[in-house]
Amino acid sequence: RGVASLHLQHVGSDSSVWAGNPLSLLDRIELAVQEQEAIARARDLRFALDCFLAQDGGAFGDRIDPRQIIAAGHSYGANTTLIAVGARVIREGRPVQVRDPRIKAGLVISAPPFYGEHDLRAVLGMVEVPTLHVTATEDVISLPGRTSPFEDRLAVYEAIATPRKALAVFQRGSHSIFTDRAFTGGVSLNPQVKEATASGALAFLDRAFRGDPKPLQEWSTSFKPIL
């Protein structure tokens, strides 16, 4: 389909959080979810794009259309995506925002709430690019001190002010069904949800970048039994 993908590893909030002494796991989680780490992840993305798209040494800069860049992420990655496309918070009376204007759309899978923020519309109201939100009816986040029910995924979607957004909700499923874990959410449902998420993302890009709603409409019909 002519889509290139760049996958980032965010040192400080990657799988290393779960490794090591289990007695200090809570401390590692707490460090990983700090606001400065969330901002650093968005800056990681900016830095990676700078390198990726550089015309004077970037590996693929001359092969990528800079007008059609999207950010995508699951869970904490969804939070990073939202920050990169315009989410902001107010600190000491001043807005904190690290939006990258090169990113023209967002794929937001299992987005957690912005913990500690009570007005999601104030946080997400500045997001203007098209976004596709993907979740499942049993998409529950269970981290120490960071429990989040399925309804939070809907609240994030509703808080996006622009009408250029779409929401896909799978029946049943779980928060981890979108990861590489093969059996979460059910042996039968798991591969169906993964296939549907991938093809739905491509259909969404057709609507976002080409103004063609038909692929997404056809996708919705095709996967209706699990939506």
pLDDT tens sequence across 58-98: 667 778 898 999 999 999 999 999 999 999 998 888 888 99
State residue 12's pLDDT score: 84
Who's near 76: CB < 8 A, 6+ residues apart? 13, 32, 33, 38, 41, 112
C-alpha gyration radius of the chain:
18
Distance between CA 182 and CA 188 in Å, rounded? 10
State residue 14's pLDDT score: 86
Mean pLDDT, the chain, whole residue set:
92
State residue 141's pLDDT score: 95
Who's near 216: CB < 8 A, 6+ residues apart? 166, 200, 203, 204, 206, 207
Distance between CA 118 and CA 41 in Å, rounded? 22
Instruction: Taking residues 4-10, report their average pLDDT.
Output: 92
Count the alpha carbons within 13 Å of 50 in the hemisphere toward its beta carbon.
7
What pTM was estimated for this model as a whole? Answer: 0.92
pLDDT tens sequence across 157-199: 999 999 999 999 999 999 999 998 888 999 999 999 999 999 9
Instruction: Taking residues 137-159, report their average pLDDT.
Output: 93
DSSP annotation of 178:
G
Q: Alpha carbon of 76 to those of 56, 62, 141, 187, 206: distances in Å?
A: 32, 30, 11, 25, 26
Instruction: Taking residues 10-17, report their average pLDDT.
Output: 86
Give the Cβ contact number of residue 196 at 10 Å.
Answer: 20
State residue 56's pLDDT score: 66
